[in-house]
Amino acid sequence: MNLIDTLNWRYAAKRMTSEKVSDEKVIEILEAINLTATSAGMQPFRVLSISNQEIKQKLQEASFNPQVSESSHLLVFASYTHVSQAQIDDYMSLVAKTRNIPVESLNDFKEKLSGFLSMPEDFVRTWAAKQAYIALGTAIVAAANLKVDSTPMEGFDNAAFDEILGLKEKGLQSAVILALGYRNEEIDPYAKVKKVRLPLDELTITLN
Ligand SMILES: Cc1cc2nc3c(=O)[nH]c(=O)nc-3n(C[C@H](O)[C@H](O)[C@H](O)COP(=O)(O)O)c2cc1C
């Protein structure tokens, strides 16, 4: 299947069966998330991969979307609530180690990133959440590529999720979630309906 056929195949599954997605496929989706482009390459989010049914059941109480507990794995994209000097230093060390260069050669880059330390908290939270959403898009495409269904969801109680998952203590907050699993065609009316999209020439503004 080419990419467009794959994207036509995918839809936001409203109901899922209890069939498990293999570890191999979940790892590939997580690897794709890890390869997502992010602002300054900072990756200011973490991804919780939850297959534990008890935890999913608890989270289900904080969401009207049945996919939370029907999923095989629930991915919670949790973004930074702030950027610290230690995080910037860790990132610089990672760049230096990965590229085998002296960490001092990154001083200008480090200086630029230090701007985050004095940014208003709201700005940092919004910026970090935006990066998590880019990763969400990558995950949706990666899942479809493996013929795994997925549902992106904002319909959940963020504060309750943060509390249940202990995200605040980790300097994180839930941004968006993605259910991974397999569509339940028997009870999901959306499984067979046509995709609704704008004509391409209405979506696109071409300036030649
Ligand atoms: C950020 C985001 C949040 C969404 N939240 C929900 C949600 O809470 N529940 C749900 O069933 N679908 C949710 N959706 C799925 C959209 O409704 C769906 O992607 C859209 O209607 C387009 O349909 P399709 O993805 O099936 O092609 C969300 C999608 C995105 C991208």
Within 10 angstroms of residue 127's Cβ, the number of other Cβ atoms is 19
- Asked if the model's pLDDT at residue 168 lies above 90, the reply is yes
Measured by CA distance, the residue closest to atom 26 of ligand 1 is: 11
> Residue 20 has what pLDDT?
98
Which atom of ligand 1 is the closest one to the Cα of 65?
Answer: 9
pLDDT digits (tens, 9 = 90+) for 4-49: 999 999 999 999 998 999 999 999 999 999 999 999 999 999 999 9
pLDDT digits (tens, 9 = 90+) for 96-105: 999 999 999 9
Within 10 angstroms of residue 184's Cβ, the number of other Cβ atoms is 19
CATH of 3-83+119-203, one of 3.40.50.620, 3.40.109.10, 1.20.1600.10, 3.40.50.150: 3.40.109.10
User: Who's near 52: CB < 8 A, 6+ residues apart?
Assistant: none
Backbone φ, ψ for residue 188 (5° rounding): -100, 105
What's the pTM? 0.97
* Ligand 1 probe mutation, 153, 176, 192, most atoms within 8 A of CB: 153
Residue ranges per domain, the chain? 3-83+119-203
Q: Over range 138-164, report the average pLDDT.
A: 98
> Residue 1 has what pLDDT?
82
The two beta strands, 149-153 and 45-50, are unpaired
